[in-house]
């Protein structure tokens, strides 16, 4: 892939596809990590005299203009972090966008409105997507792909636009790909993988692929109850994917056969309801009461997981160990995060909720080797899939 160093950007309009899909509560940004991750590429282009046009998505408005998904708060925060005014267009490729671009001086920055307000951005119809890509590409002279969190999507701004403009990868994508190669090529062993989150089905591909690559796989979060059920244990009212039980049993069989160590919790924090103030107790993982639901791994499991990370040289973590947003069920995720730090290994936090948990629980991001901006993209890369956004940049 070419990088921005390979482009002559001075005085030229550069469309930067960033990932600014930040969480909002009542219109306020609660975690600006993805905005901060986009800064180095934008600042590098500005310093070289580019007219920077940033485009990104927020949420899933499904091709409709919905004010609650406006990027206006993001434009304001981006401007604060850059220390300059960022012109916020009120549309994506309409009059406001064209005016914002036409008004840019060298080193100036404009942010287009939410890409997903346009049906063509996410359309599965090639012609509809191409028509929107034509309009978006017409705003710029050059394209820089820097939204790693979206590269697994065959969307217009990710896949079609770079086919219409001279293009290069931004610094964030270059860094993400370098890290992921360290997890897939010449991995320093032992290689431990920690998987959490709510559903086994979200991780099927990566588990299948890692069974031939990882030395040990630690499983927590909501997905663990399907594993416990597959072993014949009672899981009460915990999250369960009945249709994945046979698949999980096969994974456990293959792991034993191939010498991959599967580590499951030995205790669980089981509550009477999905609420922070619900009655909850620590119970054995094999004996969850039928009227309770598991919302976190227990303290002994936290110690166990930390001990299994201690000897690792490479660790990839994707998915929290419990409902970390509620304090009583945050301790398992905290124990795993601390375990990564204490391991001394090359540690990669796989984006999404894991990255959010690191920040919410107050950890120093610099204590981890890399915190990815793309949970889904990271997983699909580790599954061995071709990512459309990377493919487009490699052409």
What would the pLDDT profile of 236-268 be if each residue is shown by its tens digit? Answer: 999 999 999 999 999 999 999 999 999 999 999
Q: Is 376 a catalytic residue?
A: yes
CATH classification (class only), 187-383:
alpha beta
Q: What order do you get walking across the sheet with 51-55 strand by strand?
A: 86-88, 109-111, 51-55, 13-17, 142-145, 167-169
pLDDT of residue 373: 85
4-175 and 187-383 agree in CATH topology: yes
- Range list of H helices, 211-351: 224-230, 245-258, 299-310, 331-343
Are 296 and 322 in contact, with CB atoms under 8 Å apart? yes
Predicted confidence (pLDDT) at residue 395 exceeds the cutoff of 80: no
**DSSP state for residue 106 in the 8-state scheme:** T
Rg for the chain, CA atoms, rounded: 22
Over residues 164-193, mean pLDDT: 95
Q: How confident is the prediction for the chain on average, in pLDDT?
A: 95
Closest CA to 217 of 182, 248, 178: 248
- Report the alpha-carbon distance of residue 39 to residue 63 in Å, rounded: 27
**DSSP state for residue 144 in the 8-state scheme:** E
Active-site residue among 236, 339, 376, 389?
376
pLDDT of residue 62: 93
CATH number of 4-175: 3.40.50.1260
- Report the alpha-carbon distance of residue 152 to residue 88 in Å, rounded: 27
Are 376 and 202 in contact, with CB atoms under 8 Å apart? no
What would the pLDDT profile of 32-74 be if each residue is shown by its tens digit? Answer: 989 999 999 999 999 999 999 999 999 999 999 999 999 999 9
Task: Show the tokens assigned to 370.
Answer: 């890399």
Q: Is 94 a catalytic residue?
A: no
104 three-class SS: coil
Q: Mark the binding-site residues for substrate, compressed into ranges.
A: 19-21, 34, 57-60, 116, 153
206 three-class SS: helix
pLDDT of residue 212: 82
Over residues 129-155, mean pLDDT: 97
Look up the pTM and report it.
0.88
- Report the alpha-carbon distance of residue 12 to residue 166 in Å, rounded: 12
**Residue for token digits 């909720």?**
353
Active-site residue among 199, 249, 303, 360?
199
Q: Mark the binding-site residues for ATP, compressed into ranges.
A: 203, 294, 325, 351-354
Task: Show the tokens assigned to 95.
Answer: 């009059």
219 three-class SS: strand
Q: Enumerate the domain spans of the chain.
A: 4-175, 187-383
Q: Mark the binding-site residues, compressed into ranges.
A: 19-21, 34, 57-60, 116, 153, 203, 294, 325, 351-354
pLDDT of residue 8: 98
Backbone torsions φ then ψ of 65, nearest 5 degrees? -80, 115
- Report the alpha-carbon distance of residue 350 to residue 360 in Å, rounded: 15
Predicted confidence (pLDDT) at residue 384 exceeds the cutoff of 90: no
pLDDT of residue 374: 83
At 307, is the pLDDT very low, low, confident or very high (cuts 50, 70, 90)?
Answer: very high
At 376, is the pLDDT very low, low, confident or very high (cuts 50, 70, 90)?
Answer: confident
Active-site residue among 34, 216, 237, 308?
34
Active-site residue among 319, 352, 374, 389?
352
What would the pLDDT profile of 66-109 be if each residue is shown by its tens digit? Answer: 999 999 999 999 999 999 999 999 999 999 999 999 999 999 99
Predicted confidence (pLDDT) at residue 383 exceeds the cutoff of 90: no
Q: Mark the binding-site residues for (2R)-3-phosphoglycerate, compressed into ranges.
A: 34, 116, 153
Q: Is 34 a catalytic residue?
A: yes
Q: Is 374 a catalytic residue?
A: no
């Amino acid at each position: 892939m070419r990088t921005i160093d390979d482009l002559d950007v001075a005085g030229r309009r550069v469309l930067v596809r960033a990932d600014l899909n930040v969480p909002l509560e009542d219109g306020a940004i609660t975690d600006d990590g993805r905005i901060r991750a986009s800064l180095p590429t934008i600042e590098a282009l500005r310093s070289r005299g580019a007219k920077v046009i940033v485009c990104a998505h927020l949420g899933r408005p499904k091709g409709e203009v919905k004010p609650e998904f406006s990027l206006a708060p993001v434009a304001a925060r981006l401007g604060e972090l850059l220390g300059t005014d960022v012109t916020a267009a009120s549309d994506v490729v309409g009059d406001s966008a064209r005016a914002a671009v036409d008004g840019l001086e060298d080193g100036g920055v404009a942010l287009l409105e939410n890409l997903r307000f346009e049906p063509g951005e996410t359309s599965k119809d090639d012609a509809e997507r191409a028509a929107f890509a034509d309009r978006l590409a017409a705003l710029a002279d050059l394209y820089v792909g820097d939204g790693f969190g979206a590269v697994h999507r065959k969307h217009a701004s990710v896949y079609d636009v770079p086919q219409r403009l001279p293009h290069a990868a931004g610094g964030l994508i270059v860094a993400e790909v370098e890290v992921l190669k360290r997890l897939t090529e010449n991995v320093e062993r032992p290689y431990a993988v920690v998987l959490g989150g709510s559903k086994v089905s979200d991780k099927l591909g990566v588990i299948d692929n890692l069974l031939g690559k990882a030395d040990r796989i630690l499983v927590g979060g909501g997905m663990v109850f399907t594993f416990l059920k597959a072993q014949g244990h009672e899981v009460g009212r915990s999250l369960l994917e009945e249709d994945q039980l046979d698949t999980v049993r096969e994974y456990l069989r293959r792991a034993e056969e191939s010498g991959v160590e599967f580590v499951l919790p030995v205790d669980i924090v089981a509550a009477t309801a999905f609420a922070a103030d619900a009655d909850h107790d620590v119970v054995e993982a094999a004996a969850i009461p039928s009227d309770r639901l598991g919302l976190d791994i227990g303290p002994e499991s936290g110690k166990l997981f930390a001990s299994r990370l201690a000897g690792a040289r490479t660790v990839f973590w994707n998915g929290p160990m419990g409902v970390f947003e509620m304090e009583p069920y945050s301790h398992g995720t905290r124990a795993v995060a601390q375990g990564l730090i204490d391991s001394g290994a090359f540690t990669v936090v796989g984006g999404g909720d894991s990255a959010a948990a690191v920040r919410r629980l107050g950890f120093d991001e610099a204590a981890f080797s890399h915190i990815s901006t793309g949970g889904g993209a990271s997983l699909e890369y580790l599954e061995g899939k071709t990512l459309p956004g990377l493919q487009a940049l490699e052409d």
